[in-house]
Amino acid sequence: MSETFFAHFIQHSVAIIPWMLLGVVFDYFIRKHLTPEFLQRHFQKENVFRVLVVQLLGMGSPLATMSFLPMARGLARKGVHPGLLLSFLGAERAYGVQSFFILAGLFGMVFAAANLFVVFVALLGAAFALKKDHIVFKARAKGVTPSSFLKRQTTLFTFVFFGIGLAAAIQTFVPLHLMARLASGEIQSFVGAVVLSFVVYAGTIFGNYPVGKAFLDLGMSPLGVFVFVTISPLFNAPIILFFASAVKLRHVVKFILAYTITALFLALLISPLL
């Protein structure tokens, strides 16, 4: 049993950690340009073009939402449009600079490309759902400060290894017949994936990916796995509460529900390709 656990752990680590290390390099260089000052200078007004750009920047950003969100109120007070700022933070949480390569390695190119497309469109829908809302960022919690580069990377890798360990444990200890019975059908897996997305928290989105692979190996349908991997970064209880610490809960719920509903609809449309 333990040998199986370590075999799964090593398998997922080999698929993910090299891309994580490459992400550290990207982080080191990109953070010099994608700074709070950059956002302040270029994103003071909201329009369609800026929404698209800020989403792409967020999805390609190696920055950590956990360290960036505490600065949000200060950025908003300095002129960054709150709606664009929330879109950036949501995009950063929903996708990462290494996501495509990790997903392609675990699930194949079609799956990775479909995930990229659905995440982008769902984020766009979430951004426009809040277009008329007056968003105000709360004051930073006392004692909360942005993380240093080294601390951020340490935290990220800690959560990634936790996710890999969780995936290995699921594959090792969850009976194959149980998962196959509960989530092998399209409808069962679709509903199950939504529920699991809300309750399973692996810290970082990169920790969710091996968990999704574990579900697939245990018999969950590709549609269910796609739904889990795509919506779990935002449609997740701890993440909703974390965002609500900086923005009013009703704005967070509206943003995340718009993202989730759009993503689920698109997932059903493209399910024959998975």
- The predicted model gives 141-156 an average pLDDT of 58
Q: Let me know if 273 is exposed, middle or buried by CB neighbors in 10 A (0-12, 13-18, 19+).
A: exposed
Q: Tokens for 178, please give them.
A: 């149980």
Q: From CA 22, how far away is CA 179, in angstroms rounded?
A: 34
Q: Tokens for 144, please give them.
A: 């909360």
- Is the overall model pTM greater than 0.75, yes or no? yes
Other Cβ atoms closer than 10 A to 136: 12
The conformation of residue 51, written as its DSSP 8-state character, comes to: H
- Cβ contact 191:223 at 8 Å: no
Percent above pLDDT 90 for the chain: 20
Q: What contacts 41, CB < 8 A, 6 or more positions away? A: none
pLDDT band at 111 (very low <50, low <70, confident <90, very high): very high
Which span out of 105-109, 129-133, 138-142 was modeled with the highest average pLDDT? 105-109
- pLDDT, the chain, mean: 77
Q: Domain spans of the chain? A: 2-273
Q: From CA 24, how far away is CA 79, in angstroms rounded?
A: 30
Q: From CA 236, how far away is CA 2, in angstroms rounded?
A: 30
**Is residue 134 classed as helix, strand or coil in its secondary structure?**
coil
- The predicted model gives 121-129 an average pLDDT of 91
Q: From CA 225, how far away is CA 219, in angstroms rounded?
A: 10
- CA trace torsion 267, 216, 242, 238 (10° rounding): 120
pLDDT higher for 259 or 33?
Answer: 259
Which span out of 60-69, 76-85, 112-121 was modeled with the highest average pLDDT? 112-121
pLDDT band at 9 (very low <50, low <70, confident <90, very high): confident
**pLDDT tens, 214-246?**
888 888 889 999 999 999 999 988 888 888 877
- The predicted model gives 188-203 an average pLDDT of 85
Distances (CA, A) of 51 to 46, 48, 195: 7, 5, 30
Q: From CA 231, how far away is CA 261, in angstroms rounded?
A: 9
Distances (CA, A) of 99 to 111, 206, 228, 234, 255: 11, 7, 14, 15, 22
- Cβ contact 206:20 at 8 Å: yes
- Cβ contact 159:207 at 8 Å: yes
On the CB side of 5, CA atoms within 13 Å amount to 8
pLDDT higher for 70 or 185?
Answer: 185
pLDDT band at 116 (very low <50, low <70, confident <90, very high): very high
Q: Tokens for 28, please give them.
A: 């080191």
